Structure 1
Amino acid sequence: MSRASNRHLIINCDDFGQSAPMNAAIMHLLEERKVSSATIMAPAPGFEEAAAWCKRRGQTNVGLHLTLTSEFDAIRWRSLTGHPSLHDESGYMHKTVEQFERQADTEAVVKELLAQHEKATAAGISLSHADNHMGSLYGTETGRTHIPQALRLCAKWKLPFRLFRKVHPADPLLAGIPGVEGIVAKASALAGVMGVAIPDYLLSHSFHIEEGEDYERFKAMMISKMYDLPEGISETYIHPAIEDARLSEEVPHWGKRVWEYRLMLDDDFAYALRDAGVNLTNYDEVRKHGKRSRVGSAFALARALMRK
């Protein structure tokens, strides 16, 4: 079967720096070139280990995982700036996106994002792009979005950002969000106006282990996505980790993280990428081809804002 030659895929490892078991998995996958890139969490407890490794290797495909939440009891962290609106009653960053959206002061959010960028660059990391932990900046829970602020900072930093222009109809999570097409049209047009490069598609899958799901079913689902990959630049994200007795007991669905690590090393998945004609790439591809005309984007944004 002939396949399109311009189907590019970024496989990004989120949560680099979260913990030692995640660092071990992500370092291994980057060393073996089984994934495209990773994004590092400046406030998290494993940041120093991950950052030192990046600097030592001169790693150029690591971005910034903008982090405003701290979801697990077993691994908590505080903001870098210490503003009270960024913390819950325990003194750590909010556990949920909804809590963050309701409580966070916008000016404090911007200062925190600036501090996280400064910490990563001061550690010697040449950042490739930026994205967002748990989607806390997107306004998915209450409608209170910080995407304009994030895009303004990415324009300042000259970094691509994880948004997407189109919703793949086969994506069960993103396609099921009410009004998602309109939301995407506004956000992607705003990125164009600000001169921020973004991918064409984002492919998601459940963070949790689904009822009846095992590794083989998970692998089959992920392989099927490779054959359904649309033309253009797509990104999917994983949270790989090695086995860890304590965290497997204390972090919900830790086993899914172990599956994701295992999948990247699985010969069946590597074969599927080749057989499906998928070009594994990184955010260099987005930087080169992910921008749109500012004037055209301004017209697209105006049209999107006028739609009901």
Structure 2
Amino acid sequence: MSLKYLIINCDDFGQSPPMNRAIIHLLEERRVSSATIMAPAPGFEEAAEWCARKGRDNVGLHLALTSEFDAVRWRSVTGHPSLHDESGHMPRTVEEFELRADAAAVVRELDAQYEKAARAGIRLSHADNHMGSLYGTATGRSFIPQALRLCAKRNLPFRLFRKVYPGDPLLSDIPGVERAAAKASALAGIMGVAIPDYLLSHPFHMREGETYDQFKREMIGKLYVLPEGISETYIHPAIEDARMLEQVPHWRKRVWEYQLMLDDDFSFALKDAGVMLTDYSYVREHGGRSRIGSAFRLARELMRN
């Protein structure tokens, strides 16, 4: 049996109808592992109705504290003023969120987003975070403990990672990321929250001169060097849409991600590379760690200079 397990998660489910149609198609065709839904976003009701009607058990919660695109913006579920900018929407950037947000309001908002999804009839499989706003990457103000508390209370796995895959285009360039991952993963173990081993990222934006074939080769190449253990990568698939192509930066990259999941070359490469596509039910079963061992690991990290 393969020891290389991969979760392909569709972020931003509920963002807009063009994204909903792409994600629903990929889930129905079993081309991806899972999706995570955004409770505050304008397309939430459409996505949630489909999840409840189909009885899906592989849709998680995409905790959203930011609203980055002028063409598609949203307010918080709770309406707390510290969670909004001058326009009355959630902040455009992670930095603005970290600087503005009241900690107690963040906790209430996370709970409210969970409850909204649960009331809609979604059997949530896990949780993750839109734009990494809870990770403290902009100013160092992290809300990871609060997110883990929600997951521990609701018995949800969470998108974190134990190790940084060498050469990851986003994570490996963050100063101190390995120590931060070690502390966060140890805290998850103490709280009984299951997590993957690795998080594989790729650039959200289209690079100058980039083509679909180049993008496809890079993504397929990663399958052949996938580390052993449980890895997750995330995509933001969307269908062609004239308004979104004009008004949302790098929408074309989202269309490419949708196209890639339907590409027979990608499906062949998964099998050829010995990669087992899995979902967060596997993380729930195999992604936990001893609470006592995790406590020792956290203490060791905290005592390091």
Q: Same fold (TM over 0.5)?
A: yes
Provide the rounded CA distance (Å) in 2 between the counterparts of 1:176 and 1:135.
15
* Equivalent residue number for residue 106 of structure 1: 103
Deviations 1:89-132 (A, max 9, x none): 00000000000000000000000010000000000000000000
1:183 aligns with 2:172: no
Q: Residue in 1 aligned with 2:86?
A: 89
Aligned residue for 1:295? 292
- CA distances 1:141-167 after superposition (whole Å, capped 9, x unpaired): 000000001001100010000000001
| Equivalence map 1:261-276=2 (5 Å) | 261-276=258-273
Alignment of 1:1-308 (within 5 A): 5-308=2-305
Question: In 2, distance between residues paired with 1:79 and 1:173?
Answer: 27
The 3-state SS of whatever aligns with 1:175 is helix
User: Following TM superposition, by how much is the alpha carbon of 1:173 offset from its aligned partner in structure 2, in angstroms?
Assistant: 1.3
Contact residue 169 and residue 203 of structure 2 kept, 8 A: no
1:169 corresponds to which letter in structure 2?
Answer: P
Q: d(CA) in 1 for partners of 2:75 and 2:302?
A: 36
Cα deviations by residue, 1:178-222 (Å, 9 ceiling, x for unpaired): 111101000000000000000000000000001221100000000
AA partner of residue 81 (structure 2)? P
Name stretches of at least 5 consecutive residues in structure 1 with no aligned partner: none
Over the aligned positions, Cα root-mean-square deviation in angstroms equals 0.6
State the 4+ residue runs in structure 1 displaced beyond 3 angstroms.
Answer: none
CA offsets, 1:233-260, max 9 Å, x none? Answer: 0000000000000010000000000000
Q: Is the 8 A contact 2:127 2:158 kept in 1?
A: yes
SS at match of 1:162: coil
C-alpha distance in 1 between matches for 2:5 and 2:267: 15
Cα deviation for residue 170 of structure 1 reads: 2.7
Secondary structure class of the residue paired with 2:173: coil
Name the SS of the counterpart of 2:171 in structure 1: coil
- The residue type equivalent to 1:5 in the other structure is S
Tell me by how many angstroms 1:13 deviates.
0.1
**Offset, 1:22:** 0.1
> Partner of 1:262: helix, strand, or coil?
helix
Identity of aligned residues (%): 76
What one-letter code is carried by the residue in structure 2 that aligns with 1:249?
E
**In the comparison of the two structures, how many residue pairs are matched?**
305
**1:284 CA drift (Å):** 0.6
Letter in 2 for 1:258: V
Instruction: Report the secondary structure of 2:231's partner residue.
Output: strand
| Residue 172 of structure 1: how far off its partner (Å) | 2.0
Q: Structure 1-normalised TM-score?
A: 0.98
Q: Matches of 2:287 and 2:169 in 1, distance apart?
A: 24
